[in-house]
Amino acid sequence: MAKSKHPMTPAVRFLRSKGIDFKPYTYAYAEHGGANQAAEELKVPAHRVVKTLVMEADNGVLFLILMHGDREVSTRQLARFIERKKVIPADPAVAERTTGYRVGGISPFATRNRLPVYVEESVLALESILINGGKRGFLVEINPAVLSEQLKAIAVKAAIS
């Protein structure tokens, strides 16, 4: 069997340990390029690239929101859904310390601290998604059902078109 050419990250180890099929993709990471840059490099619609964002509720609780690459998160809608007054993006240093991944390479799989996970409900309707594999410039293509099955991700409506 040929040796894989993709990074061996905690996320990859998690997917393998659960027997989850995934297809690895690497691309030239660009600082502040985001999901749109990844989609452009990989020649896939940005709607299929799912970004992992670390957010903080007004009570200090951190959580993940998984959102289409071509959409923004409505923090107002998200706060309403989780019954808090305010939700903001977590400080990058806090996000890195909490997840064990660098910003731009945060995967929802195998985070250092287990965090609640929310996912834009329309992500779950896609046939497959590309989501961060735990390193900048590295995505994995998976069935979005994995998010609900393995991460117990809760579907929300929080996208701004």
SS (H, E, C) the chain: CCCCCCCCCHHHHHHHHCCCCCEEEECCCCCCCHHHHHHHHHCCCHHHEEEEEEEEECCCCEEEEEEECCCEECHHHHHHHCCCCCEEECCHHHHHHHHCCCCCCCCCCCCCCCCCEEEEHHHHHCCCEEEEEEECCEEEEECCHHHHHHHCCEEECCEEC
Say what the pLDDT of residue 159 is: 86
Residue-wise pLDDT tens for the chain (161 aa)? 344 578 899 999 999 999 999 999 999 999 888 999 999 999 999 999 999 999 999 999 999 999 999 999 999 999 999 999 999 999 999 999 999 999 999 999 999 999 999 999 999 999 999 999 999 999 999 999 999 999 999 999 998 86
Q: Per-domain residue ranges for the chain? A: 21-160
CATH 3.90.960.10 holds for 21-160: yes
pTM (2 d.p.): 0.93
CA 122, distance to chain mean position in Å, is 14
